[in-house]
Structure 1
């Protein structure tokens, strides 16, 4: 377990480094904005620097300040384990943003948008794949998903829409278009590495039904349906556990299955929508 957690910490740090490189080498110099709270941090840095002549609060510091109230919310509403890794990601991103100088490798805004989007998506996707998050909108999405069980895509679209609007308002109109391009590239890369879908359905065929059901319910706060199953070749009686989870819980589910029943067969499919009971209360 210690080695496992150590690997996750290293991955979170690497993801934060990649995100910082995407910002300082591509996005910031080209006035192209990232998604979520990172993009808002860029906007605030631009407003205070260009219009209020306040240069001592950098993008990294703004990112940290924006995540303080969200981190507190996540600590009480989501869970300490998930929030700790999110806080670590934000702290390391801020550290690398302050450490790495802002510089430009190209004057072509499109190249900056594409390469920044690829690097940013890789950093976010890598972090999500190992069961952590980059903080900010991820924590808000987790809170909304657990409290209301409603799609959070509309909320994230509003956040990114505001970022795109101000990207064009504070700079040239084309900056809004290139920001939209960067957000699209980031989403596609994250989708390739992990998933941008809000909810997925897991269908687990196992012989260790009771042990696996107990282990999942100890970690993942979701309802579950158990169906009888039988192997087509072995004719063995088994059970299929069906549950719908958010993308943030996918890593924990994979780890639980590998620990309890490595021989279980698991199929993960994208879920377009959920009607009825989704959340299991403690």
Structure 2
């Protein structure tokens, strides 16, 4: 129940943050962007259509397309964002009216990228989809097996170019920077809180190191049978995963037991299981 409530809050908060970012930073600076918002900006310039109205109609059409091509379950994950984002745009538009925080191009580009990246990350981490222009690449992948990332970037480039007809080249360059910023922030958001550090230790005192990590750090350890490549001596590799903050302590424990041990430290993007995503069981 708590997880569902948190997911619902994340989806609602993510869509309202996205809309607020567009209202405070993207529109005042006249920036170009990709996705459904980029299409709406072009439609607004060419035909005078309200941005929120265009986004709502387009999202509904894409929802129907997703339902027909990708199935009912996928459509349910996009249902909330289909209506929340355009409604949030209209809400912030009426609430803030003509309020302008800043028109500085650099500041607006940076904060638009950060805001969009965080808001998309909130929605995706909740297990939902933002809908809109996210759906056509998935449909193309379903029927033509073209990588989603390739078609998504192709659509974004076309949408950016469509805005070049009413925006100066400088704005187009800022738009490219904007897409790069929110892509990087989104990647960080999706990995936030899940990165851990993997430790592999090759030592003749593997048993002692194993017991020390278990006792002093309360972290799980796996012993892997190994063999040295040159002399073919049998050995054991100590494998453990710790939090990033625990790494210095783990290294100190290992060096105190065996200063000559061979230590490999790697960053892993996600860890699930006992002690991390599940509670520990002690016997």
Fold in common (TM above 0.5): yes
In 1, distance between residues paired with 2:111 and 2:53? 24
> Residues 22 and 232 from structure 1, CA distance in 2 versus in 1: closer, same or farther, beyond 3 angstroms?
same
State the Cα distance separating 1:26 from its structure 2 match.
Answer: 0.8
The aligned residue for residue 71 of structure 1 is 63
Match of 1:168 in 2: 164
Q: How many residues align?
A: 202
Matches within 5 A, 1:8-157: 8-49=7-48, 57-101=49-93, 103-157=99-153
- 1:167 to 1:104, Cα distance in 2 relative to 1, 3 A: farther
CA shift in 2, pair 1:26/1:87, >3 Å = same
Which residue does the alignment assign to 1:181?
177
Please say if residues 18 and 119 of structure 2, whose CA atoms lie closer than 8 Å, have aligned partners that are also in contact: yes
Distance 1:174 1:86, change over 3 A: same
Q: Is the 8 A contact 1:67 1:90 kept in 2?
A: yes
Aligned-residue Cα RMSD (Å) equals 2.9
Q: Any unmatched runs of 5+ in structure 2?
A: 192-221, 226-235, 237-270
Cα deviation digits, residues 141-180 of structure 1 (max 9, x gap): 3333333333122222222112222333212221111111
Q: Distance in 1 between matches of 2:190 and 2:129?
A: 12
Preserved CA contact (<8 Å) 1:164 1:177: no
Residues 167 and 175 in structure 1, CA contact (< 8 A), matched pair in contact too:
no
Contact kept, 8 Å, 1:86 with 1:132, in 2: the verdict is yes
